[in-house]
Amino acid sequence: MDIQQLLGYFGALLIGVVLGLVGGGGSILTVPILVYLMFINPVTATAYSLFIVGVSAFVGAIRNIQKGLVDFKTAIVFAIPAFIAVYTTRRYLMPAIPEELFSIDSFIMTKNIAIMLFFALIMLVASISMIRNKRSDLDEETVITYNFPLIIIEGIVVGVLTGIVGAGGGFLIIPALVLLAKLPMKKAVATSLLIIAIKSLIGFIGDVENLEIDWSFLLTFTGLSIIGIFLGIYLSKFIEGKKLKKGFGWFVLLMAVYILWKELS
């Protein structure tokens, strides 16, 4: 095992620690770690990321269910269009994208480069969301109401984005739950983890039918992420997650710029 692979496995632990400390965002590191440290091609990396993100989110969701923070009705309303969209994207849309999209002079835009560039743009949006972090909480007694058409549309959009880049999309789901379902922030964060778990794991099923999965590697990487989650939860007793979130946002921004530079150069 070389030094880059060791760094990759350390990255798996780091993903979990960030999820445990901050409550989200760590999954956005999964694809860059798999691609640049473990040398896995982007299509397979986004598939593996769905499994890793799905299992990690499910672990967090179980803890939130035990605390009574998950709103199941909202989760179901949002998750159904999301998991249909993510499964369809992974099963049919991704295999249909040609390996070479277009060329300009000597530069060829391949499917793999396009995926990483799109992923970098999603990272930019996520980083700005984490850096600004101006969410206002709602009263815990606020009556939960549903804007069903918008929730369904948002679910489809998040499902397609998740299917393409393999990230959880919590930075899109949480504001949607607060604005469209009037969920208090704590419940929105908790409910988003269950939605992420459902749609990511169902999206991964679409890949099982198309890709050859290295289960021993995938389960090892996922196991390290789960250990990281519990380590992060323990560390959160001593470190305030909100302060870390802004710093992590800047780190994600730098990662996005690095990916754009690496793929375009």
Nearest to residue 160, comparing CAs of 77, 93, 100, 209?
93
User: With a threshold of 0.95, does the pTM exceed it?
Assistant: no
Element at 116 (helix H, strand E): helix 111-132
Average of per-residue pLDDT values in the chain: 85
pLDDT of residue 48: 94
What are all long-range contacts of 246-249, with beta carbons under 8 Å and residues at least 24 apart? Answer: 246/130, 246/131, 246/133, 248/18, 248/22, 248/25, 248/130, 249/25, 249/126, 249/127, 249/128, 249/129, 249/130, 249/131, 249/133
pLDDT of residue 128: 86
pLDDT of residue 23: 65
Name the token pair of 153: 């549309």
Render pLDDT for 242-262 as a digit per residue (tens, 0 to 9): 677 788 888 889 989 999 999
265 residues of the chain, pLDDT tens digit each: 688 889 999 999 988 888 777 766 667 888 899 999 999 999 899 999 989 988 988 988 898 899 898 999 889 988 899 889 988 998 899 899 999 999 888 888 999 999 999 989 988 888 888 788 665 555 555 566 667 788 888 889 888 988 888 776 777 788 788 888 788 878 888 888 888 888 889 889 888 888 899 999 999 999 999 998 888 878 877 876 667 778 888 888 998 999 999 998 8
Start-end of H helices in 133-214: 148-165, 170-180, 185-208
